[in-house]
Amino acid sequence: MTNIKKIALALVITLAVGYGVYASQQKSELSELALANVEALANGETGTSNTGPREREKCYGGGHKMVCRGINSNPCEDSDCF
């Protein structure tokens, strides 16, 4: 194979790969069913930031405070240092 043919082949392969990457990155939209499923799963979700159990943690400068671990669904509030 001559050098010109090798260069032309490399150029064709590069363009094909580049177009494939470009085509795969085009904006895709979720179907109505997928959007409904996402909304149904998120409905009523409150997160785990204020759930128990609480654990004792050292405060900066001494003392302790109780901190929620966010493991279960029981309500919980962090305490101030004591």
pLDDT tens figures, 2-61: 888 999 999 999 999 998 888 877 766 777 887 788 877 777 665 555 677 788 888 887
| Structural domain of 68 | 50-82
pLDDT, residue 45, reads 60
Tell me whether residue 82 is in a domain.
yes
Distance CA 68, CA 51 (A): 6
Q: Return d(Cα 76, Cα 5) in angstroms, integer.
A: 71
Number of domains in the chain: 1
| Sole residue written with tokens 């493991």 | 71
5 within domain boundaries: no
pTM equals: 0.34
In a domain? residue 69: yes
In a domain? residue 79:
yes
